[in-house]
Amino acid sequence: MREMAEPYRVAISPDLFAADGSSVLGDVRLDLLDNAPGVEWRSLGPVGRELTADDLRGLDALALFGQKVTDASLQGNDRLAIVARIGVGYDNVDVAACTRHGVMLTITPGAVRRPMALANLTFLLALAHRLLEQDRLIRAGEWSRKFEVRGSGLTGRTVGTIGFGNIAQEFVALAAPLGLRFLASDPFASPPAAEAAGVALVDLDTLLRESDFVVVACALTPDTLHLLNAERLGLMKPTAFLISTARGPIVDQAALTAALRERRIAGAGLDVFEREPIDPDDPLLALDNVVLSPHNLGLTDEWAQLSGVSVFGGILEVAAGREPPHVVNREVLESPVLAEKLRRYREAAR
């Protein structure tokens, strides 16, 4: 029985906690760990942005939020079996290093699918109806100018998603009743899935030229870094809007700022930035045709609880010696190093 053996040790990256020890995300279902026999958990405490080997020494599992896990982080650790990322982006994790060290990397696609799709829809509606401009006008006592701030109707407009994964597919399903035309650019998209959703798969340049709203919904990889540069932003209509809730560096922020300032595109809704937090003096903040949120628009109580269930549920699956859901580096499942770790957990759980 695990109660008689060495505890299964879980650490949680400290950016999940406020100074008083409460979760910054609300209820993330830490009770799942509290109620699991033979499991000990703690916050990692004060650590740097990049976790060190000492930070992770003696751990079996890590629930990771914003810290970085590198090859150096994993050196000399023969216990760690899972890095469970809270969210779906994993540009802060060296995936190949995890595989070499027999460590599974998991993400939480089910938890972010609906909240992030709704975040994209929120930006679309706010931009189409010029919500912030309406708000500023009435606060300035300029009611008489209301007819100068007319929104854009959505029926027949074209929305293009860069990427057609879980979030983009959910976004299309939510927005479909609005009478929009949908395009997507994604080399990995399933044509049958796109056809079933009423989405036309096109190349990126075509999507940028034809879309009234461009939604960035792809992962940040070496191939997508500055995917939307000055040249590609120049393909967009002057009446078009850009929405990004994915990762900031996918868009060349300086090029986007110039396009917005010079009204070469109509506006943007941004939840993510090249550098976070954004510099208070960044020229983007002075523009009146952009709606901004601090990489937080999709964070809801639903997101927090579903993320916790996914992350901590997966960690407890590993504690029982089983494969957790949503493993990113599937090749690690063939690793004899990982197999030995899982065997030890199964033995301890008997």
The answer to whether 295 is a known catalytic residue is yes
**What confidence score (pLDDT) does residue 250 get?**
98
Half-sphere exposure of 208 (CA within 13 A, CB side): 15
Edge-to-edge strands, sheet with 241-244: 199-201, 181-185, 158-162, 213-216, 241-244, 267-270, 290-292
Are the C-beta atoms of 227 and 162 separated by less than 8 Å?
yes
Nearest to 320 by CA among 342, 288, 293: 342
Q: Which of 85, 101, 130, 247 is catalytic?
A: 247
Regions of the chain short of the pLDDT cut 70: 1-5
Q: Which two tokens stand for residue 349?
A: 């759980």
Q: Please classify residue 72 by burial: count the beta carbons closer than 10 Å to its beta carbon, then call 0-12 exposed, 13-18 middle and 19+ buried.
A: middle
Parts of the chain belonging to CATH 3.40.50.720: 2-107+300-349, 112-292
Residue 168 in tokens: 């983009």
Residue 256: what pLDDT?
A: 98
Backbone φ and ψ for 159, nearest 5 degrees, come out as: -115, 130
Classify 207 as helix, strand or coil. Answer: helix
| Alpha carbon distances (Å) from 74 to 15, 311, 335, 340 | 20, 20, 16, 17
Identify the sign of the CA torsion 24, 26, 27, 28: negative
pLDDT of residue 155: 98
CATH H-level, domain 112-292: superfamily? NAD(P)-binding Rossmann-like Domain (3.40.50.720)
The separation between CA 237 and the C-alpha centre of its own chain, rounded to angstroms, equals 27
Residue 45: predicted pLDDT: 86
CATH class of 2-107+300-349: alpha beta
In angstroms, the Cα distances linking 335 to 6, 290, 342 are 24, 47, 11
Question: Is residue 247 among the annotated active site residues?
Answer: yes
| Whether the Cβ atoms of residue 181 and residue 212 lie closer than 8 Å to each other | no
Is 101 catalytic? The answer is: no
**pLDDT value of position 1:** 44
Catalytic residue among 40, 276, 340, 347: 276
Q: What is the pLDDT of residue 80?
A: 98
Q: Is the alpha carbon torsion for 32, 34, 38, 43 positive or negative?
A: positive
**From 129, 226, 295, 344, the catalytic residue:** 295
Per DSSP, the three-state class of 328 is coil
Q: What is each CA distance from 210 to 156, 171, 207, in whole angstroms?
A: 12, 19, 5
| pTM of this prediction exceeds 0.85 | yes
What are the φ/ψ torsions at residue 259 (nearest 5 degrees)?
A: -65, -40
Angle between helices 301-319 and 336-349 (to 10 degrees): 90
